[in-house]
Each structure stands twice: as structure tokens, then as C-alpha cells.
Structure 1
């Protein structure tokens, strides 16, 4: 029985089934912000792993095939962007200004907040790459001396939170341009935010995917410089 529940087939099937349950909950809730498929999938999968006493490392090893295809799915976000390429006209310069400013604000604010609340330097380093998508934030955390596993958990949590609250906050701020909304969601909420944006509108999803990639690249370039100044 132990070999069965720790097999890649079972673990991959569990993950896919949990996400499908999340999609069913979202549909039943008529797209309510809290009914995020990823959030539901995390809860269902986590509860199952605890109930069956499956170690997180075993789970991570068992679902590596999904991690591989996640990269392909991220690249596929270029398809809706290609369809919306005409809408880049007049938006390139604002985008190239907004993304570095957003990354700088993200890193500076979280590092200063961590130090202000008494956190040590290791925790500040762990928090600093949160603006990048999960694989990039993990790699950056390893490079700068953070705690990669904690960085991953925080990045995913921020992605889920941003996907839940982001659209409502953007509407409250009266930001209606689909390109700007997508840029904000992709820069803050990574792939989870991009998938939420794609559900909202194809243009929004396309720019969220572009923002996710550019934010990860910009974070990789600016993070060492910002940390040198801050720490």
C-alpha cells in the first residue's frame, strides 16, 4: 500500500484530480474570487498528503513530470500574446518603465519591512525574490543565501493571494485598460495570476504572461544590485 500511494502515478493523479476539483468548485461558485482552482488544489493535495503520511520530498520527486510540462505551459502563454501583438503599439515604453519600478518597489519594500520587524538577514534574503515566478525565485534564493523552500512557499502564497484579490483591487483603483491589468497581475501573481487574467480576458492574459517573464528577468538582473545597497 505504501509503495502505491508514493508512486509517481498516484501522486500525479492526485494532483490532477485536486486541480479538477478546484475547477469544479470555481464553476459551482460562478467564478468567485476565493474559488481559485490552485488554492483548492493545494488544500486538497496537502490534506491528502497529511492523511496518508506522505513526505513532501517524496511528493516533489513523484510529480517532476508535471514540473517539466509546467515550463511548456508557460511558454504557451506566448500564443495569446502573438494574437494581441498589435496592442503593444504605444505600450512598450510604459511597460519597460513600469516593470523595473515594480521589481524595485517589491524588493526594497519587503527587505525594509523584514529588517524593521526584526527579521534577520537570511529571512530578508529569502523574501526578496518573491516578485519572480517560482522556479526563478527558488534559483535566486539559492544564489543569494536565502531558504529556497520557504521562498517557494511564499512566492506561491503571494501568487494565490494576488490572483484572488488583484482583479478587485485593480477595479477599485479604476484601472480598466486590459493591458495594464494584465501587466500588474503577471508581475505580482506570476503564473497563477496569468491564468486568472486569461480567464478574465484574452488581452489581459497575454500581457500577464509577458509581464511574468519580464518580471522574472528584471528581478534576476536587479536583485543583486538592490541587495548590495540595502544589506
Structure 2
């Protein structure tokens, strides 16, 4: 069985898709934020690989084909933004201020916690790009001398947590403005959070999509500056 899975080109793709479908099924059935499809799929894939003792590289040989869809999927996020251009022009000052605030909050939070937990420089720069997309975050981490694999894990965890708690945070702090919701979620939880923003509404999704791109660019610059602080 192990040899069959290891030698199958489509094993990684099939397992990934089925695991995600399981996550969607559980989310619809129980309607609880903790049953996030991405979180469920990660756990399910880990369980399958461990159960059948399949090497990760064998799984990745097939799963890598799904990664090719990441770029066009990200580009497609520009569609809801285009449809909400009027909202963008109307609230441009607030949107820019919100995104900058989100980026600075993320970077400053990592800096303060790194000091509190006595992290070294390598660990510190590994965490700096936690709130941007994986593709950009990996490059930032590598350039600054961080541990890229841990950066990827941290980015995923940040996105999943943002997706799970977004609704609760908005209710607790009584955030009702769609633009504010979208900017907050996008700048804090990148693409995974944007999936939640799209569920909330078109305006939230559009603003979150914009935040992904702008936050990514600002974090590239900001991380280089913050890296010198520790």
C-alpha cells in the first residue's frame, strides 16, 4: 500500500482535494468556526501520511500541481475589487491608513513578543512576514536569514486563526463597517482570511483582497527595517 501511494503521481492531489472536501462537509454540518476547511485538510493529510507511512516528498510530488493554481487564484481576487471601485475611491484615505496601521501592528507585535520571549535574530525575522501571503513571505524570510519552513507554517497558522476568529473579533469590538472589516481581515490574515471576508460580503472581500497586495509590499519594506531592531 505504501509503495502504491508513493508511486502514484496523483496521490498528493487526490488526498489534498478529498481532505479539503471533508473540511467543507464538516463546516457545513456543524457550522462551527473551528471546523475550518483548511485546518481540517491539514490535519487529515497529516493523519493519512502518518497512517500509511508515506514520505512527505512522495506526497509533494503530486500535491505540487495544486500549488501552480495559487498565482491565478490570487490574481482572481482582483475581480471583487474591480467591482467595488466606487467604495475604494470614496474611502481611499481610510483604506490606506488602515492597511498601514495593520502592517505596523503586525511588525511591532512580532518585535515586542520577540523581546519578551528572548528570541534570537533568526527566529525574529522568521516571524516578521507572518501576516502576508506565503509566496511573498517565503522570499522575505529567506532574504532576511530566517527559517523559511517555519515561516510558511506560521503564515498558515495566522491565516487559519484569522479565518476562525474574524467574526468573533468584529462582534466583540463592534466593527460593523464593511470596509473596516475587509481591511482588518486582509491585513492580518492574508488570503485565508480573505476567504472569510468574501463570505461576509462583497465589499469585505474586495477590501480584503486589496489589503493582501498592499500589505505584502509594505511588509517587504517594513520587515527589512524592523530586522535591524533585534
Normalised to the residue count of structure 1, the TM-score between the two structures is: 0.94
CA–CA separation in structure 1 for the residues paired with 2:101 and 2:215: 10
Q: 3-state SS of the aligned residue for 1:175?
A: coil
Equivalent residue number for residue 115 of structure 2: 115
1:67 aligns with 2:81: no
The answer for unaligned runs of 5 or more in structure 1 is none
The answer for unaligned runs of 5 or more in structure 2 is none
Equivalent residue number for residue 86 of structure 1: 86
The answer as to whether partners of 2:11 and 2:59 remain within 8 angstroms in 1 is: no
The answer as to whether partners of 2:194 and 2:208 remain within 8 angstroms in 1 is: yes
1:21 aligns with 2:22: yes
Equivalent residue number for residue 221 of structure 1: 221
The answer as to whether partners of 1:107 and 1:223 remain within 8 angstroms in 2 is: yes
Superposition CA RMSD, Å = 1.4
The answer as to whether partners of 1:132 and 1:219 remain within 8 angstroms in 2 is: yes
Cα deviation for residue 112 of structure 1 reads 2.3
The answer as to whether partners of 1:132 and 1:215 remain within 8 angstroms in 2 is: yes
Equivalent residue number for residue 184 of structure 1: 184
Equivalent residue number for residue 42 of structure 2: 42
Cα deviation for residue 42 of structure 1 reads 0.9
Deviations 1:96-128 (A, max 9, x none): 122222212211221221122122111111111
CA–CA separation in structure 1 for the residues paired with 2:218 and 2:54: 37
Normalised to the residue count of structure 2, the TM-score between the two structures is: 0.94
Equivalent residue number for residue 193 of structure 2: 193
Equivalent residue number for residue 8 of structure 1: 9
Q: 3-state SS of the aligned residue for 1:129?
A: coil
Equivalent residue number for residue 56 of structure 1: 56
Deviations 1:115-167 (A, max 9, x none): 22122111111111112111111111100000000010011001101110122
Equivalent residue number for residue 139 of structure 1: 139
The answer as to whether partners of 1:111 and 1:125 remain within 8 angstroms in 2 is: no
Cα deviation for residue 20 of structure 1 reads 0.7
CA–CA separation in structure 1 for the residues paired with 2:189 and 2:159: 4
Deviations 1:194-214 (A, max 9, x none): 111111212211111111111
1:164 aligns with 2:164: yes
CA–CA separation in structure 1 for the residues paired with 2:30 and 2:204: 22
Deviations 1:36-66 (A, max 9, x none): 1111111111111111222333333432211
Cα deviation for residue 28 of structure 1 reads 0.6
